[in-house]
Amino acid sequence: MKKLFFILLVTVLASCDNVNVAPGPGPLVTTKDNNSYSENKPFSNPTVFMGSDFGNFFQTMYKLGDFDGMIEFTSSQSINQFGKEAILEFYKNELDFGYDIGKRPLSHNVSGDIITLNYESKIMATKKIVRVNVIVENDSCKIVLPDNLKNFPS
């Protein structure tokens, strides 16, 4: 009986070597060449990291009151346009970003360097689509604020 079990075990292990496993859905990445989201490499998508996505990461900083961290993850073009003090004041006193935006973005669009993450949210018992614009700067994903700060998130 032991010999039969050993032979069966060796046969099973040997057959596993020839199994072709289709790659499952992996992280989506941006490639500058064709703006596609198709590669499957670790850390290749800057909008997905630490087991979450950038929109949820940014919202967590808001919920924790980490406004300085939010400034660190705000794009330089937004900081140049509005100034750190105005953005910090907006984050602290005017931004309403405490609602559930969903676990993952439903979809994303790429327009030039800006990636738009689309979330299905429930705001006051109403389903809405929330769009968060991000850009990759210095290998980090950062928020791009709209021309009117009160429209963030749109």
Q: How many CA atoms lie within 13 Å of 102's alpha carbon, on the beta-carbon side?
A: 16
Q: What is the pLDDT of residue 45?
A: 65
pTM value?
0.66
DSSP string, 60-90: HHHHHT-HHHHHHTB-HHHHHHH-HHHHHHH
The domain segmentation of the chain, as residue ranges, is: 27-151
The rounded distance, in Å, linking the Cα atoms of 63 and 36 is: 32
For tokens 């006051």, the residue is: 124
Q: What residues in the chain have per-residue pLDDT under 50?
A: 18-39
Q: What is the pLDDT of residue 121?
A: 85
The rounded distance, in Å, linking the Cα atoms of 152 and 154 is: 5
Pick the CATH number of 27-151 from 2.60.40, 3.10.450, 3.10.620, 3.90.1690: 3.10.450
The rounded distance, in Å, linking the Cα atoms of 151 and 149 is: 5
The rounded distance, in Å, linking the Cα atoms of 120 and 107 is: 10
Q: What is the pLDDT of residue 99?
A: 85
